[in-house]
Amino acid sequence: MTAPPLVPLQEIPVTDSPYVLLFGSLYLLLVLAIGVWGYLQTESTADFLITGKSIGTWVLALTAFSVIQSGFGFVGGPELVYSFGTTALWIFFTAPLGFVVTWILLAKRMRLLADIRDVMTIADGMYVRYESAWVRGLTAVAVVVGVMAYLATNLAALQYVMRAIFGLPVVWGLFIGALILLLYSMLGGMIAGVWTDFVQAITMIVGAVFVFAFALSFGGGMETISRNLASADPSFVSPFGAMGAPVATVFTALGWWILFSIGAAGQPHLVTKFYMSRNLRILRWGAPIAAVTYAISSLLAFSTGLSMRSMVESGQAAAPKSASVVGPVFVLEHTPGVLAGLILAALLAAIMSTSDSFLNIGAAAVARDIPRALGRPIEDDETELRVTQAALAGITIVSTLIVYFSEALVGILGTIGWGFFAAAFFAIAALGLNWKGATKEGAIAALVGGLVVNLFYSAVPRIADTAGLGGLASTVASLYPFPESFPVGTVALLVTVVLFVVVSLATQGDRTVPRDIAVLIER
């Protein structure tokens, strides 16, 4: 989901387990080895960005689950469950449905698009669909903004994970981690990212099952956990959890249900994976595999969050310094060293592999999509590949410097995540590839609307607070027409869908869709 937050991760303890150090070291070596192997497999831009359409069913499905789960299941998930009880489960209940929605709406069409046209990025696909340089350019800009946000927050998390595993000073954890990420990404491209995602996914699934068992044992079983939580606050185990007043909590749960069940189809690091599948046949079982494995991995967040809160409420465990470190602290302090090493190394791999996916789509936007939108494409494939790698290096360096120099800016970027991409791309991609009546004007309106709503309600208040303009921040917050806990991303997503449909209907006229695209939409 969204990348782990910056500040609370400072409180992850430095491990003294040799197993954590061993597994962390092995994972970093494995990451670099996969990068070198990926480099040997890369001969063209298509190899670098979409693996040459070479991945099979299980790799595609587990990679899809892995890029969505990322570090969220280990950091953000337990934090939400610990803080709000069953409210957070509305994410974990609905995210598996998101894979089904995404597969139904986009899997076959995105893969066919890669066969009938020269597409490697989401902006390529949107240009082909709408035949508009403006749509291509706005899509590329949205990708770059979202990638910088995700990457900066991932690097901010990476520096503390490196410290927890290796005991490094935080600044060295940042620079060494960024260097390894850069080498691995520049060498292997998406090929390396896909296979690291695959290894990480298997590790998280196995680790989640074991952590689930240890967490239930630690809390005295589900019955004891439920009783302790209900004694402290009955809403913790109510259908909608404990986030605010009852009505607001129901509203928030509904907002999360919409955002995470539908918004998955707007995540470019997920939907571009369909370009990579070996053929259409292997797409058939991808959705159930991704959904089931995501559900299994979510056992980690569910069990650690509820078990830790239960033991704290019953007075049998000390409260963690921050809810954001519930997952890491539980694994480090209440599971065997081997399991802790496996899970923490998987978190390291999650940050690395997800960052690689973002780097690749961001670099492609800079080197391929923006020049083409401006009418100045790079014609030579080898040159385009080298420019893409250079752009990848530039994005990594800029994001690393943001983390190093500006914690405030990282916090602002951290407000732009899942909801930003969902609002930007769900309507134009998921609806646009299923509705021949969609127009370029509708796509432009949706892109601009999604950017404005997300930035105005998410980033502007943070910028104003950072600049000492508390009055402005309060004014913007007062303009938000929903409870504070209701996700801004859901509002932006709904606004973009309405804009997309209304403007498309108003501008259809007698336009026709290119024949090959019309056939694709009808399939």
Q: For 383-411, what is each residue's pLDDT tens digit?
A: 888 888 899 899 999 888 888 887 766 66
Span 30-46, average pLDDT: 77
Q: Is the pLDDT of residue 435 over 90?
A: yes
Identify the band that residue 43 occupies on the pLDDT scale cut at 50, 70 and 90: confident
The CA distance from 69 to 98, in Å, is 12
Token digits for 131? 């035949």
pTM: 0.86
Amino acid identity, position 356: D
Residue that the structure tokens 């961001």 belong to: 362
The CA distance from 181 to 353, in Å, is 9
Percent of the chain with pLDDT over 90: 19
DSSP one-letter code for 275: G
DSSP one-letter code for 55: B
Identify the band that residue 52 occupies on the pLDDT scale cut at 50, 70 and 90: low
Kindly state whether residue 99 falls inside one of the protein's structural domains.
yes
Residue 295: its pLDDT value, please?
A: 87
- Give the CATH number for residue 333: 1.20.1730.10
Kindly state whether residue 65 falls inside one of the protein's structural domains.
yes
Which domain covers residue 121, as residue numbers?
7-404
Looking at the structure of the chain, the number of domains it has is: 1
Q: Is the pLDDT of residue 170 over 50?
A: yes
Structural contact between residues 423 and 493, judged by C-beta atoms closer than 8 angstroms? yes
Q: What is the mean pLDDT of the chain?
A: 84
Q: Is the pLDDT of residue 182 over 50?
A: yes
Kindly state whether residue 426 falls inside one of the protein's structural domains.
no
Identify the band that residue 447 occupies on the pLDDT scale cut at 50, 70 and 90: very high
- Closest of 414, 428, 509 to residue 129, by C-alpha: 428
Residue 494: its pLDDT value, please?
A: 94
Alpha carbon of residue 42 to chain centroid: 25
Kindly state whether residue 350 falls inside one of the protein's structural domains.
yes
The CA distance from 80 to 242, in Å, is 10
Kindly state whether residue 398 falls inside one of the protein's structural domains.
yes
Q: Is the pLDDT of residue 6 over 50?
A: no
Kindly state whether residue 430 falls inside one of the protein's structural domains.
no
Helix, strand or coil, per DSSP, at residue 483: coil
Residue that the structure tokens 């890369």 belong to: 42
Q: Is the pLDDT of residue 499 over 60?
A: yes
Radius of gyration for the chain, computed over Cα atoms and rounded to the nearest angstrom = 22
Kindly state whether residue 254 falls inside one of the protein's structural domains.
yes
Kindly state whether residue 411 falls inside one of the protein's structural domains.
no
DSSP one-letter code for 351: H
Identify the band that residue 4 occupies on the pLDDT scale cut at 50, 70 and 90: very low
